[in-house]
A and B are shown apart, each in its own frame.
Chain A
Amino acid sequence: MTDVAADTERLDYARAAVEHAYDEGWTDGLPIVPATAGLVEEFLAATPRPPEEVIAAAPQLDRECTVEQAAVNAAMAGCRPEYFPVVLAAWDALMAQPVVTGGGWQSTSGPAPLIIVNGPIRAELGINSTGGVLGPGFRANATIARSIGLVVRNVLGIRPHELEQATQGLPGRWTLCVGENEEESPWEPLSVELGLAPGTNAVSALLLRTCEFVDNRHTTDPEELLWDFCDTAARTGTAIGRFSSAGLVLGVEHAQLFAGNGFSKADVQQWLYDHAIRSHADLERAGKGLEDRDAPGIDEYGLHMTPSPEQIPVIVAGARNAAMSMVVRPFGFRGWTRTAHPL
């Protein structure tokens, strides 16, 4: 057999292996990398955690995921073995969230985990934190997030149209892993805000219902910019009573504009909490009038669209090439734990 013929045969076999995974229902719709024992061993060698340690669970479904099962699915997702500690820390961060242990993966909201990585590990693994940070093109970002979805599907057994009941789902489900742009952020990294020492490699996570852009290259006034965020944060479509929420993935220019005008992250959070209010008249016009006006987050002016200042996640990510940001929508009635989990 010629070299080309032999090579073609091997490539055909590789393609058949990918098709086999499809036939078995093991993929999220995209091709996977076939996991072999040797490949999984490489992943297990990348962590001191024992293969049998349970790192994720859905007790309501009698399902648990071990380090070893996570390794199989991370390999299939296209992760490199050295990404694996980030995958495990992401699970630590996710399993700390009440919405994750409270059935969130099965929800009609179809939420997407947002995985935020801090520390020098970003550069070591090539985790993008700058241009196109929420988009495709970066293996570590794409595959770490994807591995979470494969575990939910394959190990926890939560599959679309079965135990997963997303009404529409959302773009970005299983693709949102970002490095924080610590180098250009004017503020302390998220992991430091959440109590870890500077320079610690860590992961935070929350579930999102969507991201919505705010393009404001128009003003240099921090309060005008905040009003622009506020309009998006307080739109009625996202109002679900006192469980409404908003967070910010700030582009560098917006973050620097705030900091340059003396705003700390806490100031931005407080301002948004105070001003992101939707009036009773507007809510009523949209058929969302509130009966109980003494409930938490509801007053004579209307509905506070965030539960509290500290429940507004603020991270900095993206390129310093245009003044754009994203308003994100954390999902979960019991809020975000505000925890960063070391690798």
Chain B
Amino acid sequence: MFEAMIDPTARPATSATGAALAPRPARLAGLTVGLLANTKKNAEPFLDEVGELLTAEYGVRNLVRRKKLDIAKTAPAEMRAELADACDVVVVGVGDCGSCSASAVADGLELEAAGVPAVVICSEAFAATADAMADLKGAKGYGYTRTPHPVAPLERGEVRERARRILPDLVGILTGRATAAA
């Protein structure tokens, strides 16, 4: 029945054919970690704290910081290329709004496609939209690390505590000890 009714939905996007994830390093010691921030409040402090902890506790050698100015879109191609070129792994964040959570996941997947393991930090309130983007990009089940909502009003000390709490999960995703994709 209803074969004559036209389906109003778009065909699946061409990119949704299954996204490959980058091979994981066994450990982060001695590696260069990219920190790709967006313009959401506390995104840069959060990534800075993550970077400091990775340096102090996991022996990360270098940090490369970048900030994208358009929250709804993936980082500019040149910025992604720079990160992919200079970094062994990248941390993306913070997914803390309707469009930026989805685009943070898209950034993560673009970096994975470029051969660089990436982990996205997303507020728990926006998990549904992060999942929807992963699904759209053919990476259903793409692993990201979640921090409680809200992030924006936190003081610096609270941001540091949040960074500390997600660290094991974040490192697990980057080193393949967590399930990164279904």
Closest to B16 in A: A62
Within 8 A of A (CB), among B79-121: 97-103, 106
Closest to A24 in B: B7
- Whether the Cβ atoms of B8 and A107 lie closer than 8 Å is no
When A and B form their complex, what is the total count of cross-chain residue pairs whose Cβ atoms lie within 8 Å?
A: 107
| Size class of the contact patch on chain B | 20 to 34
Beyond A157-B10, A163-B102, A164-B129, 9 additional pairs, beta carbon < 8 A: A20-B2, A36-B6, A62-B14, A62-B137, A63-B13, A103-B100, A106-B99, A154-B9, A155-B10
Taken together as a complex, chains A and B put the C-alpha atoms of A63 and B16 apart, in Å, by 11
Q: What B residues does A40 contact at CB under 8 A?
A: 6
Report the minimal beta-carbon distance from A266 to chain B, rounded to whole angstroms.
33
A11 near B: Cβ within 8 Å? no
Q: What A residues does B102 contact at CB under 8 A?
A: 60-61, 106, 163
Given A60-B106, A62-B14, A155:B129 Cβ within 8 A: no
Report the minimal beta-carbon distance from B10 to chain A, rounded to whole angstroms.
5
Question: Hey, which bits of chain B sit against chain A, CB under 8 A?
Answer: 1-2, 4-10, 13-16, 70-74, 97-103, 106, 126, 128-129, 132-133, 136-137
Report the minimal beta-carbon distance from A81 to chain B, rounded to whole angstroms.
15
Q: Mark A182-203, 1 if CB is under 8 A from B, else 0.
A: 0000000000000000000000
Closest to B132 in A: A162
Given A107-B99, A162-B128, A162-B129, A35:B8 Cβ within 8 A: yes
- Whether the Cβ atoms of A102 and B128 lie closer than 8 Å is no
- Whether the Cβ atoms of B1 and A60 lie closer than 8 Å is no
Report the minimal beta-carbon distance from B113 to chain A, rounded to whole angstroms.
13
Closest to B133 in A: A163
Closest to A77 in B: B8
A248 near B: Cβ within 8 Å? no
- Whether the Cβ atoms of A17 and B2 lie closer than 8 Å is yes
- Whether the Cβ atoms of B98 and A165 lie closer than 8 Å is yes
A226 near B: Cβ within 8 Å? no
Report the minimal beta-carbon distance from B144 to chain A, rounded to whole angstroms.
16
Taken together as a complex, chains A and B put the C-alpha atoms of A40 and B128 apart, in Å, by 34
